[in-house]
Chains A and B, each alone.
Chain A
Amino acid sequence: NAGVTQTPKFRILKIGQSMTLQCTQDMNHNYMYWYRQDPGMGLKLIYYSVGAGITDKGEVPNGYNVSRSTTEDFPLRLELAAPSQTSVYFCASSYTGDKGDAVRQYFGPGTRLTVT
């Protein structure tokens, strides 16, 4: 299994541009998440999904959109990039089972985004 994969690894955007960060998992996990991590800080939840067709906002959803048309894919869309969105973005997935499985998340390698 490749686990959780993210593309691209790096991206530089100009203010006002749009882009989609891709995330794919091959573990058949139903839960998927998007986090952002600013330098020296912890992770903040942007959006999450509990299954195909179901998404919900996290702690910091403004400026982002998501969709979940399949179990495997959970893309994150930035519509009008702003310097405040400069960050490292991590996608994660987990399985809803018993005994805390949903809290055991598997993370991708991250996408480093710079908006100038």
Chain B
Amino acid sequence: LAKTTQPISMDSYEGQEVNITCSHNNIATNDYITWYQQFPSQGPRFIIQGYKTKVTNEVASLFIPADRKSSTLSLPRVSLSDTAVYYCLVGAPSGSARQLTFGSGTQLTVLP
């Protein structure tokens, strides 16, 4: 079971780059790393997913070192609307869904 560990909270200012790191020391060979964003009173929303190295899309980048025991979500030039809880999820496409465990997430607060 690939448990994840994230910081409980982070503060940043508008326009700064924010990096949130997730530790997953017992990640399995077939596991992918997926990040979600959740606003209050809403369901989580997919941000980005990766298996190794670096992945970039229109909203974020995901950095995964060679040993894959951690990953870093990078949000460029955050705004107030990026204030949310961010979850790191580790799991395999064909693995048991029981292993898809959401941790407590990281509360990101963007300040003006």
A: residues with CB less than 8 A from B are 4, 31, 33, 35, 41-45, 48, 50, 56-59, 88, 90, 92, 96-110, 112
Contact between chains at A100 and B49 (CB < 8 Å): yes
Please classify the interface of chain B as helix (H, G, I), strand (E, B), loop, or mixed, using the class held by over half of its residues.
loop
A57 in contact with B94 (CB, 8 Å) = no
Bound CA–CA A50/B97 (angstroms)? 9
Seen from chain B, the residues whose Cβ lies within 8 Å of a Cβ on chain A are 32, 34, 36, 41-46, 49, 51, 87, 89, 91-94, 96-98, 100-105
Partner of B32, one of A48, A99, A106: A99
Residues of A within 8 A of B93 (CB): 96-103
CB distance from B95 to the nearest CB of A (A): 8
Task: Among B36, B42, B43, B96, find the residue whose CB has the most chain A CB atoms closer than 10 A.
Answer: B43
Please, how many angstroms separate the alpha-carbon atoms of A52 and B64 in the complex?
35
Q: Are the CB atoms of B98 and A45 closer together than 8 Å? A: yes
Contact yes or no, A107 B45, CB < 8 A? yes
Given A96-B94, A97-B93, A99-B93, A45-B100 contact (CB < 8 Å): yes
In the complex, 20 of the A-B residue pairs with CB atoms within 8 angstroms, ordered by the A residue number, are A4-B43, A33-B97, A43-B102, A45-B98, A45-B101, A56-B97, A57-B98, A96-B93, A98-B93, A99-B32, A100-B32, A100-B49, A102-B92, A102-B97, A103-B32, A103-B91, A104-B46, A109-B42, A110-B42, A112-B41
